[in-house]
Amino acid sequence: MSAVSDLLTDYQHVIDDIRLVTGDNGAFEVVVDGELVYSKHATGRHAEPGEVLGIFRDILGADIPVYADQ
């Protein structure tokens, strides 16, 4: 749940919907506002700490500030 907590802590002001979708054999996907951010099934591994947040930051772009900086 760290990935969800990280995303909501930093980007709650731009996220309308966040979902963790579980699958077979412990696979999961992180979907934010309908966009796949991370898939354990696709990568074949768990995300490293902070990895999902980093991917989401890349998707958003540098011009979106984190929530605490607003």
pLDDT in tens, 38-70: 999 899 998 999 999 999 999 999 899 999 877
| pLDDT grade for 2, boundaries at 50, 70 and 90 | confident
DSSP per-residue string spanning 18-52? EEEEE-GGG-EEEEETTEEEEEHHHHSSPPPTTHH
The Cα angle at residue 64 between residues 62 and 68, in degrees rounded to 5? 115
- Structure confidence at residue 68 (pLDDT): 86
Average pLDDT, the chain: 91
Question: Which residues have a Cβ under 8 Å from the Cβ of 13 and sit 6 or more positions away?
Answer: 67, 70
Residues in the chain: 70
Q: Give the domains, in start order, of the chain with CATH numbers.
A: 2-59 (3.40.30.10)
Count of alpha carbons within 13 Å of 63, Cβ hemisphere only? 0
